[in-house]
């Protein structure tokens, strides 16, 4: 099976898209037993079909020694009403610590559209092998829930004097959180990590969507199963449990923790003087909002759009039809197509629609000195163009008045936009985010300076979109796009976050123009949210949780 590596979560932007988040809960039944001495250790991988290829989106945890797993990790997907979103759920038996799927035994898969799951709310289907035959009696159950409530709950918890379970050592405790399902049965929502060899565990703080934990209902009873003793053979021993509500958990404050008794009903019946099986301490409970890209846009965040255009000699004479800057009888070329594709979406998010348009790599009149940062309207004090149409007009008008030259230096234009982005940080509000679209035909000449400029810009409210036109080797652009590895400057400093998205225009020549816009802008919403969250900046007009 050919699978590609996971990209950053993607989703097109724009007011024309109606998007909500859907949470998928996965259970398996009667899975194939691939292990000789024990049962399978299954995990589930979610793929989505993108341009005819299955692309990995996410994975669950591994359920040790379990042929009927209920996975605690949920899949969260953007649901687009206007798209057919094909999904594949593939189960594997974990054999090694490798992340490569071919290292693990295949247990079966099931494919369908997200619409199928959402319209049914819950489906149970047969798992199939690669040859299309059933994977034994293996079944998969997928339940969907819309995540329209953006509140999240962060809990910090500990235990004290938990019952000892292991014969020769202390317990290996963890917590499981359950909520009532529609069928009246308890449904697993979250599982903490295991704390080894202790009766007084302190778990790492964890965050879950409030709608996952209690359907957003603060008074709804939830059950905390404390704390199966985690054995590597997959057999977990029950220590105790208690029921509570989020409203009750919220009574916990940093200064005054909440203490809850962990009760084992069987021991309670047997022993007259039974008190409890330990205490669970809620050290803190905080409810906040997990803001989305749309929350920031609705809160008044402006997307500040700048275009950087490559006028180096490798583009060819703009008067010749072979040139990448040649404007054909239809009034377009690949540079203009890229400007339109990105600009027409982003301009909806800038109130004054005045965009700086800069050029690089050309000799300018009257002294014909090379410039790597010039206003294509030849007005350095006011390089702004009115709307995308203004950029297109300025671009067409400047072509006869400049000489294409070189080299291909990116860093001056990146640093130009970064200066404005740095000024915006002084406001300390989520009010502006800068997007630089660079359109180029070839290899970067100042790679060390560009890497350094990108690493510095990663600390600012800024993203860089690079569209490669023509048929050159764009390996260096892929290097800047940190999807597969963290970008480092020549000094070794790492980028704080991935802010570069590169796409080669040649992949989009024979497809609808919206396809290029979706690909180019795929990572932008996540980059905007990631920056403002990292700075602890909520949307300007946000409501408290």
Domain end (from 289, 321, 338): 289
Three-state SS for 520?
A: helix
Domain identity same for 329 and 469: yes
CA–CA distance, 527 with 516 (Å, rounded to integer):
18
- Mean pLDDT by runs of 10 across the 545 residues of the chain is 35 40 93 84 95 93 94 90 80 87 93 82 93 96 83 95 74 92 91 90 96 94 81 71 96 90 93 93 94 76 94 95 93 92 80 92 96 96 95 96 96 97 95 96 91 96 95 82 79 92 91 78 86 93 73
Domain assignment of residue 167, yes or no = yes
Domain identity same for 54 and 67: yes
Give the model's pLDDT for residue 83: 62
Domain identity same for 168 and 136: no
Domain identity same for 335 and 360: yes
Domain identity same for 387 and 502: yes
Give the model's pLDDT for residue 16: 33
Domain identity same for 417 and 488: yes
The sheet that has 105-113: what strands, in order across it?
Answer: 53-59, 42-50, 86-93, 105-113, 122-128, 134-146, 19-29, 75-80
The sheet that has 369-371: what strands, in order across it?
Answer: 369-371, 362-364, 403-404
Domain identity same for 126 and 237: no
Domain assignment of residue 15, yes or no = no
Name the helix (H) or strand (E) containing 47: strand 42-50
The residues near 157 (Cβ < 8 Å, ≥ 6 apart) are: 175, 192, 203, 280, 281, 282, 283
Domain assignment of residue 212, yes or no = yes
Give the model's pLDDT for residue 168: 65
Domain identity same for 306 and 255: no
Domain assignment of residue 8, yes or no = no
For the whole model, what pTM was predicted?
Answer: 0.66
Burial class (CB in 10 A: 0-12, 13-18, 19+), 267: middle
Domain assignment of residue 296, yes or no = no
CATH for 349: 3.40.50.410
- Residue 432 Cα distances to 56, 345, 428, 464, angstroms: 32, 17, 10, 15
Angular region, 428: left φ>0, alpha ψ -120 to 50, beta rest? left
Domain end (from 255, 289, 323): 289
Q: Report which DSSP code applies to 398.
A: H
The number of beta carbons lying within 10 Å of the beta carbon of residue 397 is 12
Domain assignment of residue 402, yes or no = yes
CATH for 223: 2.60.40.150
Domain identity same for 368 and 424: yes
CA–CA distance, 76 with 220 (Å, rounded to integer):
23
Domain assignment of residue 391, yes or no = yes
Give the model's pLDDT for residue 14: 32
Give the model's pLDDT for residue 500: 93
Domain end (from 234, 265, 289): 289
CA–CA distance, 65 with 236 (Å, rounded to integer):
11
> How many domains are there within the chain?
3
Domain assignment of residue 2, yes or no = no
For 344, the token pair is 């027409």
The residues near 485 (Cβ < 8 Å, ≥ 6 apart) are: none
Q: Which domain holds residue 105?
A: 20-147
Domain identity same for 125 and 269: no
The residues near 415 (Cβ < 8 Å, ≥ 6 apart) are: 453
Domain identity same for 268 and 350: no
Three-state SS for 292?
A: coil
Q: In 3D, which of 228, 516, 167, 477 has the Cα closest to residue 344?
A: 516
Give the model's pLDDT for residue 5: 35
CA–CA distance, 261 with 281 (Å, rounded to integer):
9
Domain identity same for 242 and 341: no
């Amino acid at each position: 099976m050919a699978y590609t590596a996971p990209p950053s979560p993607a989703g097109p932007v724009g007011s024309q898209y109606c998007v909500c988040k859907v949470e998928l809960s996965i259970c398996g039944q009667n899975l194939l037993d691939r292990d000789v001495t024990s049962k399978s250790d299954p995990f589930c991988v979610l793929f989505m079909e993108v341009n005819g290829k299955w692309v990995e989106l996410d994975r669950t945890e591994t359920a040790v020694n379990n042929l009927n797993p209920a996975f605690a990790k949920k899949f969260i997907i953007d649901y687009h009403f206007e798209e057919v979103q094909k999904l594949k759920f593939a189960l594997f038996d974990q054999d090694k610590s490798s992340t490569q799927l071919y290292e693990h035994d295949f247990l079966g898969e099931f494919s369908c559209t997200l619409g199928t799951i959402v319209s049914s709310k819950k489906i149970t289907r047969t798992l199939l092998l690669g040859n299309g035959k059933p994977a034994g009696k293996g079944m998969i159950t997928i339940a969907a829930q819309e995540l329209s409530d953006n509140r999240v709950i962060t809990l910090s918890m500990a235990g004290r004097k938990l019952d000892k379970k292991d014969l020769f050592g202390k317990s290996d405790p963890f917590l499981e959180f359950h909520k009532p399902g529609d069928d009246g049965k308890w449904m697993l929502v979250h599982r903490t990590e295991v704390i080894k060899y202790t009766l007084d565990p302190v778990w790492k703080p964890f965050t879950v969507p409030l709608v996952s934990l209690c359907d957003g209902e603060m008074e709804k009873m939830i059950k905390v199963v404390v704390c199966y003793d985690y054995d590597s053979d997959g057999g977990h021993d029950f220590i105790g449990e208690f029921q509570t509500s989020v409203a009750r958990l919220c009574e916990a404050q940093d200064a005054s923790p909440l203490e809850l008794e962990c009760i084992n009903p069987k021991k309670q019946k047997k022993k007259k003087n039974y008190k409890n099986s330990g205490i669970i301490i809620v050290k803190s409970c905080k409810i906040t909002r997990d803001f989305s890209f749309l929350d920031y846009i609705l809160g008044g965040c402006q997307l500040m759009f700048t275009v950087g255009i490559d006028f180096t000699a490798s583009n060819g004479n703009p008067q010749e039809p072979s040139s990448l800057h040649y404007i054909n009888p239809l009034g377009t070329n690949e540079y203009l197509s890229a400007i339109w594709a990105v600009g027409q979406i982003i301009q909806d998010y800038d109130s004054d629609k005045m965009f700086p348009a800069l050029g690089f790599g050309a000799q300018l009149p009257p002294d014909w000195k090379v410039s790597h940062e010039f206003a294509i309207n030849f007005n350095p004090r006011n390089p702004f163009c009115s709307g995308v149409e203004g950029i297109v007009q300025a671009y067409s008008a400047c072509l006869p008045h400049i000489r294409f030259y070189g080299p291909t230096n990116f860093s001056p234009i990146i640093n130009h936009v970064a200066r404005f982005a740095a000024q915006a940080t002084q406001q300390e509000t989520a009010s502006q985010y800068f997007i630089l679209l660079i359109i180029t035909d070839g290899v970067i000449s100042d790679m060390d300076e560009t890497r350094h400029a990108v690493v510095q810009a990663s600390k600012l409210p800024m993203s860089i979109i690079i569209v490669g036109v023509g048929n050159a080797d764009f390996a260096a652009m892929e290097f800047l796009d940190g999807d597969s590895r963290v970008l480092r400057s020549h000094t070794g400093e790492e980028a704080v976050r991935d802010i570069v998205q590169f796409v080669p225009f040649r992949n989009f020549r024979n497809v609808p123009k919206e396809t290029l816009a979706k690909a180019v802008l795929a990572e932008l919403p996540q980059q905007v949210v990631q920056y403002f969250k990292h700075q602890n900046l909520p949307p300007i007009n946000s409501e408290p949780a």
